[in-house]
Each structure stands twice: as C-alpha cells, then as structure tokens.
Structure 1
Amino acid sequence: MERLSFFVGITANIISVLMFLSPIKTFWRIIKHRSTEDFENLPYICSLLSSSLWTYYGIITPGEFLVAPMSAFGAVLETIYVALFLLYAPTKMRVKTIVLVGILDVGFLAATFLVAQLVLQGEMRINTIGFLSAALNVIMYVSPLAAMKTVVRTKSVEFMPFLLSFFFVLNAGIWTLYAFLVGDYYFLGVTNGAGFVLGIAQLVLYGIYRRPKPLINVSANHHHRILEEGWQRQSLITPN
C-alpha cells in the first residue's frame, strides 16, 4: 500500500505540474494581444493562495512530503500568471485584481502564517492549516464558475481554456485517489472529490458549446433572400 500510494503521489505531482502549466497558451495569447480580454482573474488568484497554503501544509505535516514541492512549483507559476494579469488587464480589471491579491494572497496569507507560527502548535496547527487549505481548494475549483457563466452567456468556449479544465479533472481525480490511499479523507479527499465533479461539469459545458452556431451561413442565406426579393421587385416594375 505504501508503494502504491507513493506511485500515485508521484503521478499526482506530474499531473499537477501539467495543470499549472496548462494556462501558458492562454497567457501567451494575453501577451501577444497585450490584453486579458474576457479571461477571468479569480482562478489564478485563488490558485496562488491555495498553492501557498498547501506548500505550508506539506512542510509541517508528517507523511505529506509529496504535497510541498508540487504546491511550491504551482505557487511560483501562479505568481507569474497574476503578475501578467496585472500588467495587461484593463484599468477596471487591474484595480479589481490588485484588491483581491492584496486581500487574499498578501493579507490573508500573511495573517494565516503568523497565527500558525506564533499561536498554534502541533496537531492544532496542522489541522487548522489543513482545513484552510481544503476550503481554499474548494474555492479554487469553484472559481471557474464565472468563466462557465460567460460560456453560457456567449455560447462560446473561447474564454474557458480546455486544457485547464481537462487537467483540473485529472488533478482532482488523482489527488482524490491519493487521499484515500494515505487516509487523508477530509482535507485532501473531500475537496478534490468536489473539484472532480466541478471539473466534469466544465468539460460537459465545453462539449455543448465548443462549436459556435454557423452565423456565416445564416447571413449568407439572408443575403441571398434579399437578392431574390430585389430581382422580383425589379421584374414587377420593368416596362413591357
């Protein structure tokens, strides 16, 4: 069982790395267009906070050494993504991003570390950080709901990257399996199980709206109908 859990843990780390790398194509588009367009900032802000807390949880919790390096790698990448969002977002979105980063990724994170180090000890520290990390994991998985709402409104998946949704599902699924193998049912198991369900919902939505309606054909038919009406009217007024 220990060998199996170690193998699953290594696999989970690899998939998590791929999940953290999956938005690169999105941010390359942002850099190329010099605009964040309609992409949402909340998934990256929440992911940065979650990764930072999971790094701390992996460090202070015996037997969870596989959690720390993957989470630290994710925290570094998410920091870069948030920085690019701040650089290329429109003024209104930039202000909103600064406020959220200041509250969540700076204020809340700093307060949590200080309380954990100065006030909490032993199991209480581990359980508190584990609970907060699990709660933030749920928020991270729920954060794409804004993008899903945009998909339903626009009938387009342009601003909901497929790779990110796909690796969300894989990541949540493999960490759920790892949680049950190591007996971490509450902090890792429940949250990643919920993330797996939400990730499946994203993929279903992607499957529904991945092909936009053929507006060009509609326009072409409408144009053809107008031409026919024009020829008919012309024939009516043509002199004998």
Structure 2
Amino acid sequence: MDILRFSCGILGNAVGLFLFLAPMTTFKRIVRRRSTEQFSGIPYIVTLLSCSLSTWYGLPFVSPDNLLVLIISGIGVVIELTYVWIFITYAPKKESQKIMGLSGLALILVLTFAFVSLFALHGKTRKLFCGIMLDIFSILTYASPLSVMMLVIKTKSVEFMPFLLSLSSFLCGIFWLAYGLLSQDPFLIVSNGLGTGLGIAQLILYAMYGKNQSQTKNEVRDEFGEMDLEKTGQNEETELPRSSFTASSKN
C-alpha cells in the first residue's frame, strides 16, 4: 500500500507539473500579441494562493509524511508567480491594477494563515485548520475554470479553454484523489474528488464544442478573404479610368 501510495504521489507530481506548465501556450500567445485578450488572470491568482496553502500544509510540522505534496506545491508557487507577473505586464491598465490588488490580498491571506497556524494552533488542531483552509482554496482553484466553462457554453467554442489544461486537471485530480484515499487524508480526498468531477465536465464540453473552434477560425479567415476581394475590386475600378485616359492621350 505504501508503494502504491508513493507511486500515485509521483504520478500526481508529474501530472501536476504538466498542469502548471499547460498554460504556457496561452502565455506565449499573450507575450507574442502583447495582450491578454479575453483571458482572465484570476484563476492564476487563485491557483497561486492554493499552491501556497498546499506548500504550508505539506510541511512536516503541519502534516507529516506529505513531502510529495510539499514538492509539487512549492514548484507551483514559482510557476504561478511567473504567470501572474506576465499577466500584469500585458493586461490593460485597469485589469493590471485589479490583478495587482488581488495579488496583494492573496499575500495578506497567506501571511495571516501562516501566522495563525504557527503561533495560535498546535498538533491536530493545526492540521485541522490548515486542512480546512486547503480544501476551501483548492475547491476555488478547481472551480475557477467555471467562468471559462460558461463562456464555452455561451459561445459554443473552446478557444479560451485549452485542452491540455482540461486534461491535466482531470488526471491530476484522479492521481491525488487516489493518493488521498491511500493516505486516508480527508482533506486531500474532498478537494481532489471535486477536482476530478470538474475535470470530467471540462472534457465533456471539449467533446461537445471542440470542432467549433476550427469552424470559428474558418469563418474569420473567410471574412478576411472577402475583405481582400473587395479591396481588389476597388483597386481594379480605380485603375480602369487611368488606363483609358492613357490610351486616349496616345491617340
């Protein structure tokens, strides 16, 4: 059972890292276009907050024998900080200020959480408090794509819901749910059980509307093609009188 638990933790770490790196395609697009477009920075702040609390929960004096949780959560903090910084850099001024304010609020929450659990609580009470807070913010992390899922249902397009992110969320939830069950850790079971369900929901939406993404791109391409044809027609109309004038002058 210990070997199986460790294996699930390793797989959870591997898929978790892939999950953290999945939005890289989105942020390459943001950097290349120097615009955040319709992407939201809030999910990355919520994920950063959740990773911070998970890192604290994995510390030996809070939750013994959870080193794998500590490792992947610490890596997640570094990666999500990078994403938030990029978003602040390329978002419109108003949106950038909003993200900066939310980031500051997240920092205050993490410091308050750490201070209370470290100095006011001890033993099982500390683990209970940290576990409950971890579940709350882990649920928010998994639920943050709900706004994107609503956008997918509204537009019938998955353009702003990357497939790799959805797939990684599902796999990460599955492995950490198994890890929590084998560890008999109710806090890991609750958050990752919900995460698995939301991951399945995202994959279902992708199966329903995934083909519409290519159709949307084709429609945009057709619109640009029509515009080019109109410009070509206008140029031909303006060139015809010029040709006739030249011909008459030669005669």
Alignment TM class, shorter chain as reference: 0.7 to 0.9
Q: What residue in structure 1 maps to residue 65 of structure 2? A: 63
Amino acid at match of 2:173: A
Q: Where in structure 2 are the equivalents of 1:132-147 lying within 5 Å? A: 132-147=133-148
2:27 corresponds to 1:5: no
2:194 corresponds to 1:194: yes
CA distance in 2, matches of 1:112, 1:83: 23
Q: 1:216 to 1:3 in 2, by over 3 A?
A: closer
Q: Report the number of matched residues.
A: 218
CA distance in 2, matches of 1:78, 1:5: 27
Shift of 1:3: 1.2
Per-residue Cα deviation, 1:153-179 (whole angstroms, up to 9, x for no partner): 222211111111110000001100111
Q: Where in structure 2 are the equivalents of 1:84-163 lying within 5 Å? A: 84-103=86-105, 105-163=106-164
Per-residue Cα deviation, 1:182-226 (whole angstroms, up to 9, x for no partner): 111x20011101111111111111121112257749x89xx9xxx
CA distance in 2, matches of 1:30, 1:17: 21
Task: Select the structure of larger CA radius of gyration.
Answer: 2
Amino acid at match of 1:18: F
SS in 2 for 1:66: helix
**Contiguous gaps of at least 5 residues in structure 1:** 224-240
Q: What residue in structure 2 maps to residue 81 of structure 1? A: 83
- Asked whether the 8 Å contact 1:39–1:160 carries over to 2, the reply is no
When normalised by structure 2's length, the TM-score is: 0.82
Amino acid at match of 2:111: A
- Asked whether the 8 Å contact 1:40–1:146 carries over to 2, the reply is no
SS in 2 for 1:38: coil
Shift of 1:76: 0.5
Q: What residue in structure 2 maps to residue 166 of structure 1? A: 167
When normalised by structure 1's length, the TM-score is: 0.86
SS in 2 for 1:210: helix
Shift of 1:65: 1.3
**Contiguous gaps of at least 5 residues in structure 2:** 227-251
Q: What residue in structure 1 maps to residue 34 of structure 2? A: 34
CA distance in 2, matches of 1:58, 1:216: 49
Amino acid at match of 1:159: F
Shift of 1:18: 0.8
For structure 1, which segment, 167-176 or 37-46, has the greater mean C-alpha deviation from structure 2 after superposition? 37-46
Q: 1:91 to 1:183 in 2, by over 3 A?
A: same
For structure 1, which segment, 94-103 or 76-85, has the greater mean C-alpha deviation from structure 2 after superposition? 94-103
Q: What residue in structure 2 maps to residue 178 of structure 1? A: 179
Q: 1:118 to 1:4 in 2, by over 3 A?
A: same
CA distance in 1, matches of 2:52, 2:144: 17
Amino acid at match of 2:85: A
Q: 1:63 to 1:153 in 2, by over 3 A?
A: same
Shift of 1:99: 2.1
CA distance in 2, matches of 1:203, 1:40: 20
2:6 corresponds to 1:14: no
SS in 2 for 1:170: helix
CA distance in 1, matches of 2:100, 2:158: 26
CA distance in 2, matches of 1:8, 1:94: 38
Shift of 1:21: 0.8
SS in 1 for 2:58: helix
SS in 2 for 1:37: coil
